[in-house]
Amino acid sequence: MAIDAQERAALAEAVRDASSAGPREFLDDHGRPQRDGQLWKVLTEQMGLGGLLVPEADGGAGAGVAELAVVLENLGATLAVVPALSSIGIAGTLLRVAGTTQARAMSVRLSEDGLAATVCWPDPASMPPAGVSATACRATDSESVIVSGRAEFVLDGADADVVLVPVTIDGTDAIVAVDTAAPGLTRTAMTGLDLTRGMAVVEFLDAPGTLVADNVSLETAADLALVLIAAEQVGIAQQCLQVAVAWAKDRVQFDRPIGQFQAIKHQLVDLLMATELARSALDVAVAAADAYLAAPSDAVARELSGAASAAKARCGDAAMVVADECLHILGGIGFTWEHDAHLYLRRAKALEVLMGTPADHRSRYAVLLLEDSAR
């Protein structure tokens, strides 16, 4: 389901309106926020966003990464305390890449029941993901498995209803789904920099799970996750830019709005350029992601890898720079706990290092270019 610019703008407005209350009510001083259950219910049950990536034949919207990126960008702009990135985004794209009957059934279950899922990546600070999170052995039938292992820094791990775990079974990489209520699974909330999104340690001790797919391309699934992270980063940059511009128009010093001073003008133009360049990189990555979902192949997957790393690097830099400079343009008010500027800076920093820093992805992009030129 492709939508035009008008429909995309309407989708963005609907998401922004639904999440306009902001995150303050759900914050925790120790970086362990609670889910905004009412907003999550609106997004999944009333707006049907949990089924965005579910094919129409299975009762979903049959949308692509372009539509999902619009949703995540606007939820990022409002710092909504919901597991949209981890569940609808990262887990949803992993299931879409898996493409098995079990994966489609899990996607339908998540979309219809309003449940939240997350992925226990082997090392959420590296890209591409190396190794697996756990090991597993088959139980009584071909789909039932027993999982043992440990994963750290699991996005929304303390709040998820289902975790998708990369495992090895008889030497083969696979994806297993484990309900968080299953015996043998324990979760420990971690103290995080981002006060609007929690992380957790998830441990498996002979926890029962269901095999979702064998031989899944984890690198391609991670590339799709990078694109969605970049979408959130663009939302942060855009919102911080708007806040800075509005403040520069209203704040008066020496009988003039500070936006009339040349230093502030130049600073705002630099932030605008960073945001627009990030959006351009995101658009290229989104197009590559949808091209892969439409016609998967090794060549298209390689193009996606390059575009995803370029977007993660560019958007990561932009989110950090704009959030940081916005705080400084705000001046004294920007450094207070009561203002949301520090919350955006915290989210930007957490996303900057998630699944590889901008420097990591510039290196990866350079390697991909060199390998292509050597062919």
How confident is residue 169, by pLDDT bands cut at 50, 70 and 90?
Answer: confident
The CATH number of 218-374 is: 1.20.140.10
Region(s) of the chain under CATH 1.10.540.10: 5-116
Region(s) of the chain under CATH 2.40.110.10: 119-214
The structure's pTM equals 0.95
Query: Does an H or E element contain 148, and which?
Result: strand 144-155
Q: What angle do CA 324, 16, 196 make, to 5 degrees?
A: 50
Please give the full DSSP string across 5-18, using - where no structure is assigned. Answer: HHHHHHHHHHHHHH
What is the tens place of the pLDDT at every residue in 17-61? 999 998 988 887 766 788 899 999 999 999 999 988 888 888 888
**CATH level 3 topology of 5-116:** Butyryl-Coa Dehydrogenase, subunit A; domain 1 (1.10.540)
**CATH level 3 topology of 119-214:** Butyryl-CoA Dehydrogenase, subunit A; domain 2 (2.40.110)
Region(s) of the chain under CATH 1.20.140.10: 218-374
Residue 24 to residue 196: CA distance in whole angstroms:
8
Tokens representing residue 322 in the block: 């704009």
* pLDDT reported for residue 1: 55
What is the tens place of the pLDDT at every residue in 342-359? 999 999 999 999 999 999
* pLDDT reported for residue 129: 65
